[in-house]
């Protein structure tokens, strides 16, 4: 029924953040025209969490070894905006995009759905 998911990051400096995702993260991409890059992401999953506050959406990039991932990203010029912390469900950290937006990364410590066979 579904062929994929399309994630949108709204940012104050889209060109700089696109360049960052291309050059620092090394994400493969297609050009949809006039430099509008659309990036290939790793396999994804979606979770639904309860909240008593205002409903919202969040994007996290998952990694197998967050310490090594953050080290590699820092070596490529990324600013680590949130050091690794143990949240119980996983290890959480973050990098800052050139626009100032923080992009969280985590190493899950829970079963993951993205590795299920189709």
| pLDDT tens digits along 8-66 | 999 999 999 999 999 999 999 999 999 899 999 999 999 999 999 999 999 999 999 99
SS3 state of residue 73: helix
Task: Write the burial class of residue 27 (CB in 10 Å: 0-12 exposed, 13-18 middle, 19+ buried).
Answer: middle
Residue 55 phi/psi, 5-degree rounding, is -60, 145
Q: What whole-number distance in Å separates Cα of residue 58 and Cα of residue 56? A: 7
Instruction: Give the domains, in start order, of the chain with CATH numbers.
Output: 14-108 (3.10.180.10)
pTM of the complete model: 0.88
Q: In the prediction, which pLDDT does 52 show? A: 97
Any bridge partners for residue 105, and if so which? 61, 93
| pLDDT tens digits along 94-113 | 999 999 999 999 999 999 99
Query: Which two tokens mark 63?
Result: 């990694």
């Amino acid at each position: 029924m579904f062929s994929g998911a399309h994630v949108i990051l709204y940012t104050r400096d889209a060109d700089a953040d696109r360049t960052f995702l291309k050059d620092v993260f090394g994400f493969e991409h297609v050009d949809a025209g006039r430099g509008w890059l659309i990036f290939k992401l790793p396999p994804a999953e979606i979770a639904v969490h309860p909240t008593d506050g205002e409903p919202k959406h969040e994007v996290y990039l998952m990694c197998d070894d967050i310490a090594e991932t953050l080290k590699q990203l820092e070596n490529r010029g990324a600013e680590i905006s949130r050091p690794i912390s143990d949240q119980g469900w996983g290890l959480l950290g973050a990098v800052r995009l050139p626009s100032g937006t923080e992009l969280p990364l985590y190493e899950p410590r829970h079963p993951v759905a993205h590795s299920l066979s189709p």
